[in-house]
Amino acid sequence: MFDGLTAIGVDETSYRKGRTYITVVVDHKRKRVVWAHDGYGKEVLDLFFRQLTDEQRASIKAVTGDGAKWIGASVKEHLPNAERVLDSFHIVSWMTDTLDQVRKRLWNQARRGNDKTATETMKGLKYAVPQEPR
C-alpha cells in the first residue's frame, strides 16, 4: 500500500457533530486513501510516517494539505526533502473569505457615506463569478 508513494495529501475532518476527528492520507498518483487514523495533530501524522520504511519516505516528494502547522512540523521531521504544498481547495477558500471581508468593509463604508451608487453596485457581488472572455 505504501510502495510507490510520490505525492500525498493530508487532511483531517470531523464527524459526529464536530466532536470526533480523523486524519486521512491520500495517494495523489493512484487517487486513493492509503491511511486513516482517529484524531489529528502531529502525533497522529507521525504514526503514519513511522509505518513507512526509509525507502518509502524517501520516495515522497510532495505533501499537500491545509496550512496546519502540525502537518508542516511532521513533514519537516520525517520528509526533510519533500515539498510542502498548500492545497488548492484551501487557497481558494481563504481567498474567497478574504475577498468577502473586503467587499463587506467597502459596502459598509459606502453605506455609512450614503453612497447609493456604490452600495447598489456592490449589492450581490458576493455571488458574482466573473466569466473569462471567449
In the chain, where are the structural domains located?
7-86, 89-123
Place domain 7-86 in its CATH homologous superfamily: Ribonuclease H-like superfamily/Ribonuclease H (3.30.420.10)
Judge contact between 82 and 63, C-beta under 8 A. yes
Residue pair 79/63 in contact by the 8 Å Cβ criterion: yes
Q: DSSP letter string over 43-88?
A: HHHHHHHHHS-HHHHHH--EEEE-S-HHHHHHHHHH-TTSEEEE-H
Q: Is the pTM above the cut of 0.75?
A: no
Give CA angle at 83 (81, 87), nearest 5°: 155
Cell numbers 487532511 label which residue? 11
Digitized pLDDT (tens) for each residue of the chain, 134 residues in all: 899 999 999 999 998 887 899 999 999 999 999 999 999 999 999 999 999 999 999 999 999 999 899 999 999 999 999 999 998 888 888 888 888 888 888 888 888 998 888 877 777 666 555 555 54
- Looking at residue 134, what is its pLDDT? 47
